[in-house]
Chains A and B, each alone.
Chain A
Amino acid sequence: DVKVTQSSRYLVKRTGEKVFLECVQDMDHENMFWYRQDPGLGLRLIYFSYDVKMKEKGDIPEGYSVSREKKERFSLILESASTNQTSMYLCASSPSGGGQPQHFGDGTRLSIL
């Protein structure tokens, strides 16, 4: 089974802090994704990556950056956390090729105080 592991289930940080969310997958997938999930809004794509050291902006990249130094690891960075970034963050991975499903981690519930 594919395993996507997010480093924290719950995280509490303060406004202005630099926050790192880590995601690791164990299936050698080329593609990795970061979403945020908010009630009534579904999943919104923040950033994705098709390869090591490669990144593409999703629909809501403002206030976020990402890093992919190794194929299995995709990090989401909040440069200066703000209260409107309080949300559930979901990481996913998939193999390349059309029609491949994305596999999700259990999510990180992030609260910014």
Chain B
Amino acid sequence: AQSVTQLGSHVSVSEGALVLLRCNYSSSVPPYLFWYVQYPNQGLQLLLKYTSAATLVKGINGFEAEFKKSETSFHLTKPSAHMSDAAEYFCAVSASNTGNQFYFGTGTSLTVIP
């Protein structure tokens, strides 16, 4: 079975500061991992994905995430926060034995303080 835990339902950072959103996963088989962003009143947009190639994955809008098997983590980072990064972020896991079924975390709301 697969599951995802996102630590911190709300994160606030100052504009220009480092963004770190935490995601830990549980999977009995090698996982596929995803980060999505949701702006108000919109659907989810894919930021980046890990599918067993490079462990450091670069995504859109300057975000990246590192897959750490020993820590079962896939934390999302961005070196310098921008006001436009304020949104809800979701981590998700799927696996080869569950087809394309995703398991989502409960989300982290990011606030950027000017």
Q: Interface on A for B, CB 8 Å cutoff?
A: 4, 9, 31, 33, 40-43, 45, 48, 50, 58, 90, 92, 94, 96-107, 109
Contact = CB atoms under 8 A, between A and B. Distances in A.
B58 to A, nearest CB: 15
Task: For chain B, give the interface size range.
Answer: 20 to 34
Contacts of A96: 99-100
Contacts, number: 61
A90 B44 contact: yes
A42 B49 contact: no
Given A42-B90, A43-B104, A90-B43, A101 B99 contact: no
B39 to A, nearest CB: 10
B51 interface: yes
Contacts of B104: 42-43
Contacts of A97: 100
The 6 closest A-B CB pairs, nearest first, are A104-B43, A99-B51, A42-B106, A99-B32, A43-B104, A104-B44
Given A41-B106, A42-B90, A43-B90, A98 B96 contact: yes
Interface in B37-52: 41-46, 49, 51-52
Contacts of A107: 41-43
